[in-house]
Amino acid sequence: PDDGSVRPNQLIALALGLMPFDEGRQALDLIQKTLLTPYGLRSLAPTEPGYHGRYAGDPSYHNGMVWPWLMAWYMDALIQYGEQPRQISRVLHPLWQYFLTDGAGMLPEIFDGDFPFAPKGTICQAWSIAELIRGRNTILSLINPQGVE
């Protein structure tokens, strides 16, 4: 059956520039308004039936939790659809700060979907960290094409 709920599923297609510009911008606006949090993207918009704002195992796992690894793909999509690198870097700042401070060099698998976005799941998830670093390096390479420091 068709599922019209707002989820980040289209994000990778957007990051690869596979949608017409105007449609891509509309999708990114919706993602920003409904899925974006300081620590990543929710797996389901809070306005959708079945949304869970706090992690309690299944079914909450894929129905509202924040996935940090999606942040780099969101940044890639913003680049594809015309955002400036310095503006995009602001999106990554809270997650990077968490990584350097409260995370002690680690990122969890997920965060709660509702404020205060408590870390949940695996406390040190490799794909969360790898995508944070990839996103940071992408932005730095655009800001400073001579080399990432």
Report pLDDT digits (tens) over 79-97.
Answer: 999 999 999 999 999 999 9
Report pLDDT digits (tens) over 128-143.
Answer: 999 999 999 999 999 9
Q: How would you list the strands of the sheet with 36-37, edge to edge? A: 36-37, 40-42, 66-67, 110-111, 119-120
Report pLDDT digits (tens) over 14-40.
Answer: 999 999 999 999 999 999 999 999 999
- Considering the entire predicted model, what is its pTM? 0.93
Cα separations (Å) of 138 from 40, 107, 147? 17, 19, 11
Say which amino acid occupies 135: G
Q: Work out the average pLDDT over 45-62.
A: 95
Percent residues over pLDDT 70 in the chain: 97
| Rg of the chain (C-alpha set) | 15
User: 125 pLDDT exceeds 80?
Assistant: yes
